Structure 1
Amino acid sequence: MAAVTSPESSPQPRVYFQTPPGGEESEVPVRKQGRVTVKYDRKELRKRLNLEEWIIERLTELYDCEEEAIPELEIDVDELLDMPSDGDRATRVKDLLVDCYKPTDDFVAELLDKIRGMQKLSTPQKK
């Protein structure tokens, strides 16, 4: 890529990039920033992804099965964050895990500890 400065347009020189001769712009894929990462903080999204991976790992241990065989249940972190107390959150998670034959108290305590301080992620608004 060639750089061209244009001092007459402003007191400070500016750099403009041009496509090299013979090259096409389509050769280099342009990567646009995702809408989700624009609305949310990447660090918070990474924390949420790590939490979801941890939940899946722990559920496979609790149900003693592969990820695909975990009973259909959804632990909604945003729903838990909306609840007023840890007691309410613990009750909700235990209700979801009612058919698990292994003890779930450690899982519930760890989950509540991990979501403490997390931010609720609202659904991005479509334009």
Structure 2
Amino acid sequence: MAAERVGRKGHSPREPGAALQRRQARVTARYDRGELQRRLDVERWMEDRVRELYGEQADKMPEEVSIDDLLELQSDEERGNKLQIMFTSCGQNTDEFIRELVRKLQGLHKVQVQRGGLEEAKQH
């Protein structure tokens, strides 16, 4: 009887990261899934297009294109200018890609990581 009270049969001891993983899963559920999915779709689209543009010149690709950094800029024109600078090493015409990316960024909101989890910073 005492053995049954000490540990439950069939349950393994908790792993250190298990509670953290469960907690993070609950944090994201509080936010608009549609917004998170849209952001993920933009990121995937952008990664695919950048790979297409650079082809076998992967070593010339920008290290990171941060959606949040682009969203911090005040206007679409500023975003376009920053992207033009980032993609000067491409060697191909990136104008269409940049226009499409700037269009896809419209309506997205910057996501900030805070001590308590994710927080969506809506810009008005």
Common fold: TM-score over 0.5:
yes
Q: Percent identity?
A: 31
What's the counterpart of residue 71 of structure 1? 61
- Greater RCO (CA < 8 Å, at least 6 residues apart): 2
Structure 1 unmatched runs, 5+: 1-22
Distance in 1 separating the partners of 2:27 and 2:70? 21
User: Larger C-alpha radius of gyration, 1 or 2?
Assistant: 1
**TM-score for the superposition, normalised by structure 2:** 0.67
TM-score normalized with structure 1 length: 0.66
TM-align CA RMSD:
2.8
Q: Which runs of 5+ in 2 are unaligned?
A: 1-7, 13-18, 118-124
Question: Mapping of 1:1-40 within 5 angstroms?
Answer: 26=11, 32=22, 34-38=25-29, 40=31
Q: Higher helix fraction: Structure 1 or Structure 2?
A: 2
**Post-superposition shift, 1:42?**
2.1
Contact 1:59 1:70 in 2 (8 A): no
Mapped partners of 1:25, 1:43: distance in 2: 38
Segment of structure 1 superposing worse, 48-57 or 35-44: 35-44
Length, aligned pairs only: 102
